[in-house]
Amino acid sequence: MSVIDQIVFRARVASVGISILQTATSLRDRQQAIRWERRLEPWLRTGNHRGSAYLDFGQQAAFIRWQAEAGSRLDWQYALVLVGDSIALTATHALELRKLTQAPAALGTSGFQLAAGQPGPRRDEVEEQARSAPAVEALIPLLAHALHGERRVTMPWNAPGHPDAVMWGLIAILRMIGDRQPVSFLTYAPVSSRDGDTPGLLVSFRNDAPAPLPPDQGYAQLATDLAHRFADDHEELRQALTRHGVPQAAGASSRVRLLTSLPPRPRAGNAPIRETTTVAARPDEPRPPHRPAGPAEAAEGPPRPPAPARPVPPASERGPAVAPDQVVMCPMCLTEIPDWDALENWRWDPLLDEYVPIPLPPDLNRMQRAYRLHGAHVRCPGSDDDTQVVHYLPANYGRFGLPVLLGFVGLTRSGKTHLLTSMVGALGDLSQYGISVTPLDPATHQRFLDEFVQPLMRHNQVLPGTPEDVSTRFADAFIVKEDNGPERVVILIDVAGGDLARTDKTKQFLWIADGLFFVLDPDYITTSRAGDETFSNVLQVMRQRPVAKPVSASIILNKADKVRFEEPVARWLRSEGASLDPVEFLRESADVYAYLDAHSARVLAQPYHEFDKATLHVTSPTGGVGDSEEGVYPRGVKPLRVVPPLLAMLAMTGILTGPEADQVGV
């Protein structure tokens, strides 16, 4: 049994606005009461006597009910707050408690016992309301947004009690499918509601709020089916989900994949199955349009997405990542290296300032040999040609199949280096998608951290641009692995913008690149022909490549903080997080394409039409403008949306596999 404590607050008109006083509490620890008062004070100010709030802070939770006397000038005069462990004070139990019928001035002097999972006195009443037709109608779009993984959702508020029923139904369904994320809500929020410090999902109901953006069609179909099953027979839904293994799914994406293949409900006699039951699309069914149309069509709204895809087959059923007859090729001189393991191993000697061979005595055991070869390099056989500069590659470069080469191209000062650096700094975020990332060469990675990531991310320093006299070299390289899939090498290459604006300076790696990030600066999308020449020269190389190798493109409106008040840039910069959702990538691509067209810069979207797969994105690698004279970002560095283009590129180049990944950029 857990003790749920009570706190009573009172609002009064003061000379400087509204003052909030704690008038009673069952908490015996005064410091604990003060901590709760500080945490709840900004939430209390958002309240209204017609609403309530449940706030899940992780380990602890709070439930607030406001009250106002007739004729009061204030939105509320009293607030009764229940606080305790979130495992006992759950959102559903809080909604099942009786509503206040009198001023709570004397209610907070003692706590009460509450067992985890214990139903409240209004359980049957709230459940009946949650299964009513009006509640189900409002629940469907909210559930769709929650299934999509959104963290902040604002919904229109209709009538007293209605938001309570919708939230009760939402949380009940989320728990049935195994989604244990914290869920908080405000059932009557002011115009500018608080985002707050609550983890997980926060739902705000506002009486003046417009309807939220329509959820993706696939998630709407899932939500419709789940909501109607819940309304018809919630116990049957629970059993069906359990039999199908949905509550035991490893993560959100696995949960959604299982939901899309949830068996339809049994027929009652000859009664037809409800039309909203979700059935996974067959591979031979026509796919939706895969390229955003012009701005006129984009303005009419995002394309209708397909239903979420079927489960990803296990790694044992996937085909080999690389065909056995393919040969590793040096990205610096395009020399073919058929027998990678036959190359001699070298190491960098800082005292001699050059590479030296690594001696390997024949009597070394496996552990001794691995120790000596840690961080080793190999010399490219093409270096023996007098016309080539001697160059070396990490020894692991060719030991995981064909490496995936990703280049960053664009105008000088378009922010390529800052974008690449922010992406490397955010690689740890890929773990939430089941993607592990390991440096290919520890020394190369540490050098990039010391020269770029640490100065930018930790010291807020403006980074220098890519020198135009450097030869093609790795910025950084990684071994990337998705769940139980094969390990693949991913190489990130930064190229000086001036090089690509000249036809005689195109880099060799472009002839074998797997993906290119085309980086745009909003200040130059309509004012510089150099951008056209840069992109045109790269496209010319792509057209002349003798080997028909698929190439993917990611066109990025970089430094988007410069136009952060313009739509649709503002909407995407505010968008939370990222997901491997082909529909979401398609929506963003359509919006960015329309933005370029509206600014007479459609020519910069040419890679979208010519590459095998392509997406468009909005990013801000620093979150603000730096002071060039001081060499720092005065407001700090806060990267915005640098993960989505990287996630999309990993999917388009085959690093990520499965039905969802296959649809990205097509």
> Can you name the residues that pair with 82 across neighbouring β-strands?
6, 63
Flag the least confident range among 50-54, 167-171, 471-475, 650-654.
471-475
pLDDT of residue 553: 94
Confidence band of 103 (pLDDT split at 50, 70, 90): low
User: Worst-scoring range by mean pLDDT, 59-63, 159-163, 223-227, 458-462?
Assistant: 159-163
Whether the CB-CB separation of 407 and 517 falls below 8 Å is answered with yes
Reported as a pLDDT band with limits 50, 70 and 90, residue 511 is confident
What contacts 275, CB < 8 A, 6 or more positions away?
A: none
> Can you give the pLDDT at residue 422?
93
Q: How confident is the model at residue 474, as a pLDDT?
A: 72
Residue 115 has pLDDT above 70, yes or no: no
Give dist(CA 611, CA 624) in Å, integer: 31
How far apart (Å, rounded) are the C-alpha atoms in residues 537 and 500? 7
For residue 280, is pLDDT > 50? no
Tell me what pLDDT residue 54 has: 93
Phi, psi of 337, deg, nearest 5: -125, 90
User: For residues 643 and 578, is the Cβ–Cβ distance under 8 A?
Assistant: yes
pLDDT for position 193: 55
Least confident of 97-101, 199-203, 654-658: 97-101
The DSSP letter of residue 271 is P
Tell me the C-alpha distance between 9 and 592, whole Å: 48
pLDDT of 108 > 80? The answer is: no
By C-alpha distance, which of 533, 530, 474, 541 is closest to 506? 541
Q: What is the mean pLDDT of residues 198-209?
A: 83
Tokens of 594: 């329309």
Q: Quote the DSSP letter at residue 60.
A: E
The 10s digit of each residue's pLDDT in 617-636 is: 999 999 888 776 778 888 88
Q: What are the b/e assignments for 223-240, b being 16+ CB within 10 Å?
A: bbbbbbbbbeebeebbeb
How far apart CA 656 and CA 662 sit, in angstroms, is 8
If pLDDT is split at 50, 70 and 90, which confidence band does 104 have? low
Every domain of the chain and the residues it spans: 2-206, 328-394, 400-663
pLDDT in tens, 72-91: 777 788 889 999 988 888 99
User: Distances in Å between the alpha carbon of 434 and those of 266, 429, 456, 538, 645?
Assistant: 35, 10, 27, 33, 17
pLDDT value of position 102? 54
pLDDT band at 473; cut points 50, 70, 90? low
| Residue-by-residue DSSP string for 496-509 | -HHHHTSGGG--GG
Q: Outline where 273-320 has alpha helix (H).
A: 295-299
The predicted-structure confidence for 303-356, as pLDDT tens digits, reads as follows 333 333 333 333 333 333 334 446 888 888 888 898 888 889 999 887 888 889
Single out the residue of 627, 587, 263, 253 nearest to residue 460, CA to CA: 627
Residue ranges in 106-216 assigned as alpha helix (H): 123-130, 133-147, 162-176
Residue 318 CA to residue 253 CA, distance in Å, equals 18
Assigned CATH class of 400-663:
alpha beta
**Greatest pairwise CA separation for the chain in angstroms:** 94
C-alpha gyration radius of the chain: 29
pLDDT band at residue 300 using 50, 70 and 90 as cut-offs: very low
Q: Cα(643)–Cα(621) distance, rounded to whole angstroms?
A: 10
* 3-state SS, residue 109: coil
- DSSP class of residue 334 equals -
SS3 track for 26-81: CCCCHHHHHHHHHHHHHHHCCCCCCCEEEEECCCEEEEEEEECCCCCCCCCCEEEE
- Contact status, residue 247 vs residue 174, Cβ threshold 8 Å: no
Dihedral, CA of residue 249, residue 254, residue 255 and residue 259, to nearest 10? -120
Segment of 35-49, 289-303, 572-586 carrying the highest mean pLDDT:
35-49
pTM above 0.85, yes or no: no
Alpha carbon separation from 278 to 174, 282, 326, 449, 469 (Å, rounded): 17, 12, 41, 47, 57
Tell me the backbone φ, ψ of residue 12, rounded to 5 degrees. -135, 150
Burial of 419 (0-12, 13-18, 19+ CB in 10 A): buried
| Contact present, 479 and 489 (Cβ < 8 Å) | yes
